[in-house]
Every structure is written in C-alpha cells, then in structure tokens.
Structure 1
Amino acid sequence: MSSRFLAFTLVALLVFGTLSVALIKSAFAADDLWYPGEGVKKDMYLTYRIQELDTANGDPFIMTMWFQEQQDSNWIVPTYVEFEGRVIQGTMKLSDGMAYLAGSNQVPAEMNEFIGGYASSLHWLDAFTTKSEPLSLKAGSWGKIAAIGGAEIKPAGTEKVSFQGARDVCQADSCDATLVSWHKGVDNKIWIVNEFPFPVKAETFAEQSIGGSVTQFKFELLKVGAGQPNINATGEVPKPPLERKTSSGKYAVTLAWEPAEIQPGSNVNFGISFADNTHFPLKDVRYDFTLKDANGIVIVDLKDQRSEIGGPEIHSVKLNSSGTIRAEVIITAIEGQTTGQTIESAEFNVVVVPEFPVNAAIVVATVIGLVVVITRTRGISIGSTFGNRGNSP
C-alpha cells in the first residue's frame, strides 16, 4: 500500500506541477494583442522625432511626453516640443487609449499644430486597433484604408528593427518588432514592439496629384526614461539643406547655408536652388530673397535675382543677432513667363545660436563658485591651487 500510495503521490505532484508551470507561463506571457497605450506606466517618458506632412511644413520635430499621473483613468502628460531652436511646453490630457482630449488641456496655442502631428502619426493606428477592441499582431489583416483607395493594412511578420532608443527598450541596438505594412505606390511600414505604448518607428508616404510621393508621416523612438525629463533649453536647431514646396506645389526650393551652425557676427553663405516637383532643375528663374529677424526687422531684401540653371545661387549675409531668422524666396518668373496672380513662395526658419549658450554659462558659473568655496574652506589661494607664477621661493 505504501509503495502504491507513494507512486500515486509522485504522479499527482508531477501532473499538478506541470499544470502549475503552464498556468504561470500563461499568466505572465505577453499575448499578441496590441493597441496604442499598451504598457504605458506612471512616471515614464518617451521621446520621439516626428515628421508629419501637415505639421510645421513637414519638418521634423522632437516631442517628449511624460506620463506623470492618472486621473479618472485619463493620463496627465506634460509635453515638450523641440523645434527650430526653441522648446514649447504644455500639459496634455490623454485617454487610456492615448487619444488627445481637447478642451481640458493646458497647452499654448502654438503647440496645437504639433498635437495634430502626434494624432496623425504616433496615434494613427488607433483607427484600426483600440484598447476596447485590440487586434492581434498575427492577424491576417487589420482592415482597409479608405482614405488612400482601400489599401489593406496588415501585420507582415517579425523582424529586427534599429532605432535610436532601442537599448532603452530591449537592451540591444535593434529590437524584435512586428512589421505592419501596406502598399500604395510604395511600401509603407510601421514597426511595433509588443507591450510598448506606441510604435517604435514608421516610414509612410502619400501620393501627390502631380506625381510622385512625399512623406506622410515618419517617426523614431529616441529615448525612454523615468521621472521628469531634462529638456535642452535651446531645442533642436534646423540643419541645412532645407527643402520647401511652393504654394502651388509645382516647384521645390532648397535653402542651404555655411557654416551649418550659425553664431552671431558670422558671415553666412546662403545657397538657393530651384527645381520642379520631380526635382528636375529649373532654368532662367527670377526670384526675390528676404531675410527677417525674430522681430520682423528686414536684414536683407534682394529683388529680381536670377538663376540661370537652377542654382545654387549664393548670397553672403552677415548675421549679427541670435534667434530665429525667417527666410523667404519668391519665384516671380520662369523662362520669361511670370507666375501671374499665384505667389510661388517658400519660407524657411534658420536659427542663429549664441556663441556661449546660457546653459553652458550656468555650468561654468557653478564650477567657479564651487572652486571659490573649496579654496576658502581650505584656506588655499586660487594662485596656489593652479600654481604660483612670478613668486620667488
């Protein structure tokens, strides 16, 4: 009896042990469902570089969102936008599905455009998968995109994807991610790491009525952290070259400059190039070129300039003050034909950075203050600390 009982006990333990392990694995294993906001945690912050067609002339900007706390299931999210050498700060309120809740936010008017860019990029997949009805990352299809002719959007398997913030997510230079894609003229790709609140990377495009395609939205996760983020007071500074489509979309104007980092008192060489919407150089272009400082004061106003073969046409300008410089190029005629009532203009923002930034000055002042305190405390002169000169022994 004892041997039978012992055998029964061992079998029971083996069965129940196996079941327990399976149940534990099942309880802690991540499912394959995903939606915007999955895995968000209190006090975490996320930093993305975002580019969206209808935001800031399609130029990239950096957005940092700090999920400070939850109130009635909604998130209070202090948000920082770095753009053209400045930082815009406000506090968004987001639903638990990451939707922007308008009307109850503390955001300045100038941030609204960038919030729209967030909704049309990082939060775009909410149109297909939501917290209330999440979809599987292994599903055969997530539906069709009516706005772009019914292209089917679907998970296309897993692959390694590299992005700047990868080590914060998976402790490696690239992470395993599900590729969600669709094809409309070109391949559009969004990479999702399961259990992470937003996609980590995206490259999507929009077709133009005049031919070709442009970036619809593009983003990349730069950093993940905890606690209030430390934001650079000067923000991200635009780097040359910059390209703008004119108001009609028929022409592209490119502005470059040297040196790439402009400091007050610098002589800057601006180069202007002209092309059609297929990037074929324009010939015999007549144009005006204007520079204004942050207060709207005209620095340069050049009229009736000419580009014979599309440029670059070089204009040398001395910039004395720091801050944002607004450049405008207006095409007035091409191959002898005026643009008529259509104003074919392109605008750019260029930043002149201080030679000795305020942040650096604060650090230096702090260091000097510490040196003075230490030397006074120890009764040592500054001269003896760094070596006396001209004193006899």
Structure 2
Amino acid sequence: MEIDFWVKSQTSDGNGWNLEFLAIDGKIVQKGIVTIGMVSPDPTYSDPNVSDYASVYKNTIAWLDSCATRDSPKDFDIPAWCRNGGVGGAPLVPEGEDDVTVQAGSYKAQKVGWHKGVENTIWVVPGLPFPVKAQVYADVTSGIPPSQYYFELLKIGNSSTEPDFMNVTSTGGNGTNPLCPTRDMQTDAVHGTKTTDSGSATIEYRYSPSVPPQGCPIEWRISFEKNFDLTQKYSAIHYDIFTVDNNGVKLDSIAQDSGRNDLFAPIGEDDRTIILKQPPPVTHFVIAILGTGSEGSLSDTSLAGTVNVDVKTTEPPKVPEFPVTEFPVTALLIMAVVIAMGIFITRFRSGLSIKF
C-alpha cells in the first residue's frame, strides 16, 4: 500500500490542516480529504473512501502522539516518555542517537522504543513532522513476536501547488448521498463500553453520527481493552463487525464486504467508516473479537467474544430535484509540506506498502 499526502490548507477555524490524501492499495486507488489536528496529528475528519487508510496512518505514522504532542513535547534525555497500554503497558523510552538511511536520505535520528519480547524501535528526526522509520512487532503471549509493521520515509519536500503525484483519480467513488450528515466524534456521537459475552475483554466504542441515515457513512472507533486495566489494550486483534436481524441471524459482514476474512487492529484500536445498509428504525450491530495473531494469521482464539450494539437510524436524506450550484471558495494556502513515506506492514498473504 502507498499513501501520499499534501498539506493543502489550514482549516477555517485555524485548529487543523486539510490534507489531500492518496492511497494506492494494489489495484485500488482512493483519493480524498483528511483533516488532522495541530496539537495532535490524529485525523479529525476523513472522506469515507479513504477513512480506512487514515486509520492506518493514525495507528502507525502518527502513533507517537499517544505519548507526545505539540502541547506536551518530550525530551530525548528523560528516562521514559510514557507507559502506553497500546504496547502492553511497556514504557516508551529514548534509546540514543543513531545514523539512519532511508529512501528519502540519511539522517541523524533519535531512537525511541520499548522492549516486549523483542526490541521495537521508532526513529525520530528533530525538525521533521513524522518519524522517518519504524520497526514494530506484535504483542503476543507466546512464541516469537511477528512483525506488526515497518515503515520508512520515502520523500519530503515543499510545494505551494498540488504536486504531480497527486494528479490521479480514484478507481471508484463512495457512492454516498451528498446530503449525508458529517461525522463528528466530538458533538454528534454515541459512546459506550461493554464486556464481551465470554468475559474475555472489554470493548469501548464510539460511533458518529448518533442517528445515522440509511445509505450514509457511519464511523466507528473501537478499542479492545484488558478487563483488569482499561488503559491497556490488546494488540494484534482480529475482529469483525456484523449486522444481524431481530432474531440474531447475520445479515452482513464488514470484513467480507472488504474482501477479507477479518478486520485487523494491530495496536488494539481501530477506526472504521462503513455505509449503513439496513433500514430504520434500528440496526443491530455485533462487534466480534475473533482472536489474535499477526495480520493474515489468526493463531489464538482465547479472546474470542462479542458485544451487541443497537444503533438508532433514520430514513435516507432526500436529494433535491435540481442540483445546487456550488461557488468556489478561495483559501489561503500557507507553505505546504509534501510528505511521502513508505510503510510496509507484514501480511500473511502479501506485503503492504504505504507511501505517505
């Protein structure tokens, strides 16, 4: 997989950046808008067709914001940055200076990492907005930890206009109603926490909009947490999201809709945007933990269990009979940064690279 993005403009409220975001996943090409914050680079909005790829960005390239942000920076000479539940509670510690060479060039970097069975390392170059390299392994209870993901910086530069590599067209549109409501996890969302029916884990979820219309996107943010300490998350989770009828008969599978056997949450949390198919007034969702293991290899089913979430829904928004004229808006472009990174996430079936 490759991801490219170009920092196009500042948001109208001045609190974020609008990115033109391109994902090339084998024969699939998707281009859309992703908005990230200024304090933390996590996505605050993403077009439905690129939301899954924005989630990959969040859980890999931008993952360090769980320990350090613009408002809470960390020095490289302190004993530890934080103790993160996403890596099994291991402390994230500075590991000294290192000369590192990636496709974008050679850098004098600072290493941060943690030890959980094996060494996990992220290379950070002061002055660059994202890490230049990372090698992270899955948190497993036994055996040799498999590679969870690897990435390296491919290219970085400045451009006040859209770079040539962004001049592509998506292989397919998202086909949603233009009147669908905007997803807003802060002001229009439902949040809940439930223990699986098997008692194996706690699933924390948030979805938006709070009452989604049929045929419109609904965004899910899901965390798979340890019962004894909800700040710690299970890693390398294989899961799925089902819809069922009133009798519990499965109607749909998000994984199967994506052509996969399951969905994968490498650090125990995931962000998924799907199209709501079922008619109102309610859709019965089931979030199912299938087990753990490296991506593409479900090796341990001891955490298997489900939670049920009923979502109130409404009728599809009606499209106006006549098109609405849209007027162009001129936006002030600040000095834009073009960033290209490569991520290679280990998969059982094939390699996955992301140019970012």
TM-score tier (shorter): 0.3 to 0.5
Under a length normalisation based on structure 2, what TM-score does the superposition of the two structures give?
A: 0.44
| Higher helix proportion (structure 1 or 2) | 1
The TM-score normalised by the length of structure 1 is 0.40
Higher normalized contact order (CA 8 Å, seq sep 6+, divided by chain length) = 2
Determine which structure has more spread, i.e. the larger CA radius of gyration.
1
Task: Please identify which structure carries the higher strand content.
Answer: 2
